[in-house]
Amino acid sequence: MTTIQLKTGSHDQLIDITADVRKVIKDSNIKNGICVVYTPHTTAAITINENADPDVITDMITGLNSLGFEKLPFRHMEGNSPSHLKSSLIGCSEQIIVENGTPVLGTWQGVFFCEFDGPRNRKVFITLTGK
């Protein structure tokens, strides 16, 4: 298992970690298998989406924030319940097929760490199975 350390810079932020995932896969010498990318934080997430146009990231954050979670009468005293909901909606992990030593991603796809309660220091774990 490989750990990636991230320092986020804003409350809501998507960070492209595709290059990190590719490097971990390459360094593993696994040619065919599954790569799991996971974050252990309850107010963060992992997703796969377009990484060619930076407006997609902005639109994703805008869309999630437009859901109006901040207006709900939450009981969690820490005040970050909207961040917990966003994390649960997106999910804490992604599985990626590895073929011929590279992740099977679409032409425009990238892997993103999603921060919903930053800025913070965060971790992403990457592990592979295969041969």
In the sheet that 13-16 helps form, which strands lie side by side, from edge to edge?
13-16, 109-115, 44-50
**pLDDT tens by residue, the chain, 131 residues:** 999 999 999 999 999 999 999 999 999 999 999 999 999 999 999 999 999 999 999 999 999 999 988 888 888 988 899 999 999 999 999 999 999 999 999 999 999 999 999 999 999 999 999 99
Domain 8-130 sits in CATH at: 2.60.120.460
| Cα–Cα separations (whole angstroms), residue 110 to 22, 25, 104 | 10, 14, 10
How far is 93 from 56, CA to CA, in rounded Å? 20
Give residue 94's identity as a one-letter amino acid code. E
Residue with tokens 């593993």: 28
Cβ partners under 8 Å of residue 78, min gap 6: none
